[in-house]
Amino acid sequence: MTTHLDEELLAQWALDRDTPDDAAADHLRLCARCRDSLRELRSIAGQVEDMPRMESAPEDVWDRISTELGFETGSLQPAPDLSTAGSTSRDRFELRRVGRPTRRMAAVAASVAAVVGIGLGVIGTLLATSNDSGPPTAEAVVRLEPLAGKSGDGNADLLQGTSGSQLKVTATGLVQTSGFYEVWLINEDGKRMVALGVLNPGTGGTFQIPADAAGQGYRIVDVSLEPNDGNPEHSHNSIIRGTLPS
Amino acid sequence: MHGHHGSSFARLRVVTSNEAGLQSPADIAKGLAEGREQSLADAYRRWSGFVFTLALRALGDRADAEDVTQQVFVSAWRGRANFDPSNGQLGGWLTGIARHRIADRIAARNRDLRNAEAAGGLLQLQTSPDRLDQDTVDKVLLADELARIDDPRRTILRLAFYEDQTYPAIAEQLELPLGTVKSHVRRGLLQLRDRLKEVKGDDTSR
């Protein structure tokens, strides 16, 4: 047979532990390629149920490597692997998806930085210091204000727990349209930004962030409306925004 | 591999913006072969999470996992002349080194246990299997690749795979159509399958 089974269909059977219909079953009996493919997908569907959370090595591991190899320290600091920092929360901090910063994106971030420069958006207050045990403690509560011409607002609570820092984002008055809302942390340097994940405007969400993200300049909390266009970069359509205290 | 990962956020602090541009695995491999220290730092940034998580999963001990991570990158630097780009990619090569260092650590532990047994007649000490099984490596590879998928697919896959949420629950939580969610999970599985194939093809140590 030359017409093979649709791969998405194979994936569906693997994920749902479904059995193929009669016609497909006939094909599978005859076609080793589709049979192998289904077997492989079933195996992976089983493995993804038991994946570890990604974790990052502590920062001093690089220092140890650098020292052991006699590198000039200081000139070669890889930024801590924030992409895998904190890995216990549902929405892990993730930065790898952000593409090469475009000139446009740099402009977005630069304009953000300028706005922040005049002090808009920071209503954060230190509420408590971090605690080594118990539930996460709130370190700061930041109001998220609508950008010009946009409506909605919200809060970003910076929480400190045993597993690292978390950002709890809630929003009100965000219009549900097509596409999805996404939470970003933008660096004050006007050059860098990172996507934290998808935000349900109705229920909010909690995102794991590295303990030192704000210290590294990632202080601007931004909620954008992203079209379903498959482009991972910031849509340039920010709706609400606030700034974490340094 | 899509073109968006490993890129802009965690860039180095003390380099010019030009040099700080996106380093592809091929760029990093080339720099490493040329003996550029910066390239080892780039490799560390790209793969240390994978190596550390793999070691942690295999050894169950953070201090041991840190030691192994250190050893892997030290070995990579010292053995960079042995890396042959025509025989696979840097990620696969590093995975091979990690396997060896983890196996060494497990063997040393087992040796210590046997010595302790012999010396003190301690009973019921269990030695671990002395090889890192492929299933563990695959699962960490899958987790690492999942973390590189673009949103909204990444979030959808996390909710499905880590949180065991049903498709309707995910659709409701993210306010996305059910069909969209299902399609993302299916395509995500295919995407992970392709990446796993690609990476495993490069791990020549098995």
Which DSSP helix (H) or strand (E) runs through B98? helix B90-120
pLDDT exceeds cutoff 50 at B76: yes
d(CA A10, CA A39): 9
Q: Is-contact A235 A225, C-beta < 8 A?
A: yes
A39 touches chain B (CB under 8 A): no
Write the single-letter amino acid at A239: I
Candidate from A78-87, A163-172, B16-25, B180-189 with smallest mean pLDDT: A78-87
B173 contacts in chain A (CB < 8 Å): 200, 203
What's chain A's length in residues?
246
Q: Which two tokens stand for residue B50?
A: 């994978």
pLDDT exceeds cutoff 50 at B20: no
pLDDT exceeds cutoff 50 at B133: yes
Q: Choose, out of A177, A198, A203, the residue to mutate when testing the contact with B (most B CBs < 10 Å).
A: A198
Candidate from A5-19, A177-191, B51-65, B95-109 with smallest mean pLDDT: A177-191
Confidence of residue A19 (pLDDT cuts 50, 70, 90): confident
Residue A143 burial (CB count, 10 A)? 17
Candidate from A26-30, B81-85, B163-167 with smallest mean pLDDT: B81-85
d(CA A204, CA B73): 40
CB contact under 8 A, A11 and B140: no
Where does residue A122 rank: exposed (0-12), middle (13-18), buried (19+ CB within 10 A)?
A: middle
Considering Cα of B193, then B191, then B200, then A2, what sign does the dihedral take?
positive
Nearest Cα of chain A lies from the Cα of B53 at a distance, in angstroms, of 5
Binding-face residues of B in 62-101 toward A, CB within 8 A: 65-66, 69-70, 73-74, 77-78
Phi, psi of A155 (to 5 degrees): -135, 150
Q: What is the ipTM of this complex?
A: 0.79
Tell me how many residue pairs between chain A and chain B have CB atoms under 8 A apart.
219
Q: Is-contact A168 A159, C-beta < 8 A?
A: yes
d(CA B61, CA B58): 9
* Per-residue pLDDT reduced to its tens digit, A38-84: 999 999 999 999 999 898 888 889 999 999 999 875 545 555 444 44
CA distances from A112 to A50, A115, A128, A148 (A): 40, 5, 28, 12
A228 touches chain B (CB under 8 A): yes
* Per-residue pLDDT reduced to its tens digit, B148-191: 898 899 999 999 999 899 999 999 989 899 999 999 999 999 99
Q: Is-contact B186 A6, C-beta < 8 A?
A: no
Helices (H), A17-77: 22-30, 32-47, 60-68
Measured between CB atoms, which of A98, A191, A200 is closest to B174?
A200
